[in-house]
Structure 1
């Protein structure tokens, strides 16, 4: 059997690109392939193109720590600028040549004999399926990738446009049209003001006139935060680019400003913080929103129980005559011409836009039944056996019985107050440390064969998740509200990491591999992939040349010392010249031989 690639990465979004770049920086001889189901890299920032789509984390912190961007246009970037950032980073690090677009992994099975994953990769353009053999599989499909479906009776009878905000229909022109919006979360808060006010912002290609009528159905109110979005000046951008450490210091300030919010999540110790925030948000809502909506815009849940929603002119658009917010009369059916509410009211609509979130409780769905680890056990079966069907993973990344399989943005890795890029970078560094014995070049003097697989133990996985759930009970997320963080059937926290993100970072550095992981050698050897062989051949030549030169040089210098032909000061001068002339070669040798994460 021959490997097709060392590492197979599922998804070319933020986490997939992150893993690929750090992989090639850390283990240059390792080959990798990225399988992307769409026609574009960028993940959520390529598929979410609704008007007003943007990030609720400051731009200078919503970026890779190894690829800072000094010229963000504003504090909270919009979708197009973020997507351009990921495109530029992928191009700079030559990741784009490793991506296979319009392809998907339909099935992945662990071959215990050879210690490899055999994946069925579908080419969506031709409909053909091929086998891809890899040493490692990395799932980077994201946690917010599958929109919730419309489960309202009669949806298939509607004659107008019906779509989810994450799959925006750009053929639909809402100008002077009647639109029904179902949902009031982060996405709706961003695009509803544009439907009501009209569009002339840079994020949207075609300027649009306001909708004739926008009727929004909401289930639960959110604690909206006032969010100014200042445009960065030319001097600010210049300072970020040219003044040493300024951009790093600004980024660190943003981190500390967001990280301190975790104080307020503690049910007991954060009472005063939440009380002050509650008063602040109430005061803002009453100042910005119409008085007729004050009662329905006041949440009954603890602040912090749901993810913070930033106000992007949402409160102010509720003053518009073409806006109606419906709170106590939910939609029970979709008709040919619109929707019908519980009270029997019929509302006409040219379009129904769903803003009802994503299937966050279905980790890796639908692949959870088609990824099979040791003994042919699927992910779904594993979770049924060890956690009553609840998704769980060690550090949200590794799953027992699934060797060489790593999940980015897995269970309990998201954050309610910081950047998901930060937590994903931690996961990537953690994974590369665990994979070090498998992907690094063997030592010149190593007598033992290196392992071919690594898996977390079941005990470690269980202990880690017992600790997670215990810690979650002391935080505001478990106070009884309904959010996408929590499994509504059990009240179990399946999404958030219940500790400081600083501690999450520490765990990515100090990994107890000897205690919690088992490394093995496969029963049979597998031939390396052609690209890996080529890379290793070049590395081996450089290595052998360096070793030979060192030995010959040492012998020559030793002989010179014995004869007295070479003096100490001459050797010192020689070393300085060698260091100056061949510093580039030396750095390359060190880069190939140290592989430090």
Structure 2
């Protein structure tokens, strides 16, 4: 049980446990997951679906599931990906209200998912993992968990530690002098207070990222005035070929009653998003065409405002995360909005001081200033020889395919550094990560393995490949982006070096040679056991299961298998021209 302080029995530390059992004996597995957001919930679902003889605990600091969608409640908060493309591959939702659904609706999707698959039984809410330390002798992690209601520290342990806390989760106030001096109401989009009434107020909005772009048009009808501090220009035109609109009751009825119709719509959306990847390639025809088209479209909306030089970026489309920006440009040129094309130098008792030295008196300040995207853990994670992950990653988060770090055994991450979070459909990339991690966990549970961690030389070579690849992408252009930890010129730490489809094919088969495996006992083949198969230990199994009247076995060549899996030949090539 979590918090009982007990430790694994001798099965985990001796090789004799396998000698009287059939091959691939399934030892008991204890897993701790950090976070019950989207990725933590999916991990629980997939572990439950495919594994037996395990204990799982998901610790989450919040009061319910949903992660970022539970936390982010600011005006206009929505997903910047079409809602029907923001679902698990196997779990569609016919009832999305609009193309870009709001945060409450997305939260409801994950709540339904957790309830449908009985995932809450694994969750402990109001619990913050505050320390993790690898015990190499025992081959497990010792965990400290803080109960946020009582302040009590609970001890726990696990064979496998999964960090599913996410990247856009650790919000922070902007590093601006005087922020505590402001006498009005200070808000952050990631910790927004919906009880604050903005009616008739003068509001300062700091930031030009996705949340600021959603906030401005949402609050403009009720406020007296908005002072928008636009230090950085960003593209804010719908780019995925799908404008924001509400689905009709008839459309939702058809989606609910005809799964094929819903699948067709989902495929149209996902295929459209996947077709856009070449826009991220430096000087590609699509990059040039998309940049020119978006600059022209933005110029048309703000024509005559005098903001063209301040609002339209000089870098290429995609250097920063592409955001639909529904109504944002129109709000910028509204008479109630004053655009300040600089950052905030200081916050005073009465308002904001611009970098030019002008003070703007306001009633409310909304900081849409984002999150800590350094990927440094928010609590001590101590691996081999008590090495700190924060120290190991202080210069750069060196990782293996966004999922693991050398020197930190049996520790896996979801949406870690260099994951495909801006490369195409997001959730399908998380599915691929979890499937890969579970293949490693499967080997751990059914072999006499003590620990698994990525090889340092493999990680170094992956980092070298990633850095070389990024030089040919628009992400390395000079724009301030959380893809580069808020910098305009540092290395790209957030994104995968390729498309989401490329990532899926990269993870289809684990490269076990890239991993360090250590073993319980002196012989790595102890798991072969007593010479009997698992089939023979199951008296209800068919002991001639391998016989068949035709060869239906999987294709073992990558090329042929890929063509079958992706239904090659079913789509006319002319349909692959991307929508701009």
TM-score (norm 1): 0.80
SS of the equivalent of 2:310 reads coil
Does residue 430 of structure 1 match 2:436?
Answer: yes
Does residue 372 of structure 1 match 2:387?
Answer: no
Tell me the alpha carbon deviations over residues 286-327 of structure 1, each in whole angstroms, 9 at most, x when there is no partner.
332252222222211122211112121112223432211111
SS of the equivalent of 1:311 reads coil
RMSD: 2.3
Structure 2 equivalent of residue 560 of structure 1? none
Instruction: Say if 2:425 and 2:500, in contact at 8 Å, map to a contact too.
Output: no
Does residue 327 of structure 1 match 2:333?
Answer: no
Does residue 351 of structure 1 match 2:351?
Answer: no
SS of the equivalent of 1:459 reads helix
Instruction: Say if 1:10 and 1:140, in contact at 8 Å, map to a contact too.
Output: yes
Q: Which moved more, 1:78-87 or 1:422-431?
A: 422-431
Structure 1 equivalent of residue 7 of structure 2? 2
SS of the equivalent of 1:281 reads helix
Tell me the alpha carbon deviations over residues 138-194 of structure 1, each in whole angstroms, 9 at most, x when there is no partner.
001111111232322211111111121111122321100111111121111111112
Does residue 18 of structure 1 match 2:42?
Answer: yes
Structure 1 equivalent of residue 566 of structure 2? none
SS of the equivalent of 1:225 reads coil
Q: Of residues 70, 93, 113 in structure 1, which corresponds to 2:94? A: 70
Q: Of residues 391, 394, 400 in structure 2, which corresponds to 1:381? A: 391
Query: CA 1:381/1:344 → structure 2, altered by over 3 Å: closer, same or farther?
Result: closer
Tell me the alpha carbon deviations over residues 24-54 of structure 1, each in whole angstroms, 9 at most, x when there is no partner.
1111332200000111210110111001100
Q: Of residues 146, 168, 182 in structure 2, which corresponds to 1:158? A: 182
Instruction: Say if 1:116 and 1:135, in contact at 8 Å, map to a contact too.
Output: yes
Structure 1 equivalent of residue 267 of structure 2? 252
Instruction: Say if 1:114 and 1:522, in contact at 8 Å, map to a contact too.
Output: no
Does residue 307 of structure 1 match 2:321?
Answer: yes
Post-superposition offset of 1:365? 3.1
Cα distance in 1, alignment partners of residues 354 and 237 from structure 2 = 30
Q: Which moved more, 1:128-137 or 1:450-459?
A: 450-459
Tell me the alpha carbon deviations over residues 42-97 of structure 1, each in whole angstroms, 9 at most, x when there is no partner.
01101110011001111111011121112212121111110000000001111112
SS of the equivalent of 1:138 reads strand
Cα distance in 2, alignment partners of residues 396 and 451 from structure 1 = 23
Query: CA 1:545/1:254 → structure 2, altered by over 3 Å: closer, same or farther?
Result: same
Cα distance in 2, alignment partners of residues 79 and 549 from structure 1 = 48
Mapping for residues 65-144 of structure 1, pairs under 5 Å: 65-144=89-168
Structure 2 equivalent of residue 480 of structure 1? 478
Cα distance in 2, alignment partners of residues 364 and 140 from structure 1 = 13
Post-superposition offset of 1:511? 0.9
Structure with max Cα Rg: 1
Instruction: Say if 2:423 and 2:498, in contact at 8 Å, map to a contact too.
Output: no
Cα distance in 1, alignment partners of residues 408 and 495 from structure 2 = 22
The answer to which structure has the higher helix fraction is 1
Post-superposition offset of 1:110? 0.8
Structure 1 equivalent of residue 525 of structure 2? none
Instruction: Say if 1:289 and 1:315, in contact at 8 Å, map to a contact too.
Output: yes
Query: CA 1:433/1:5 → structure 2, altered by over 3 Å: closer, same or farther?
Result: closer
Q: Which moved more, 1:240-249 or 1:79-88?
A: 240-249
Instruction: Say if 1:160 and 1:350, in contact at 8 Å, map to a contact too.
Output: yes
SS of the equivalent of 2:271 reads helix
Instruction: Say if 2:299 and 2:308, in contact at 8 Å, map to a contact too.
Output: yes
SS of the equivalent of 2:483 reads coil
Structure 2 equivalent of residue 242 of structure 1? 257
Structure 2 equivalent of residue 218 of structure 1? 230
Structure 2 equivalent of residue 179 of structure 1? 203
Post-superposition offset of 1:544? 9.9
Q: Of residues 404, 409, 418 in structure 1, which corresponds to 2:415? A: 409
Q: Which moved more, 1:298-307 or 1:228-237?
A: 228-237
Stretches of 4+ moved more than 6 A in 1? Answer: 543-546
Structure 1 equivalent of residue 281 of structure 2? 266
Instruction: Say if 2:178 and 2:346, in contact at 8 Å, map to a contact too.
Output: yes
Structure 1 equivalent of residue 15 of structure 2? none
Tell me the alpha carbon deviations over residues 516-547 of structure 1, each in whole angstroms, 9 at most, x when there is no partner.
123223469xxxxxxxxxxxxxxxxxx89983
Post-superposition offset of 1:410? 0.5
Instruction: Say if 1:114 and 1:523, in contact at 8 Å, map to a contact too.
Output: no
Cα distance in 2, alignment partners of residues 149 and 360 from structure 1 = 13
Tell me the alpha carbon deviations over residues 74-124 of structure 1, each in whole angstroms, 9 at most, x when there is no partner.
121111110000000001111112111111111111111111111001111
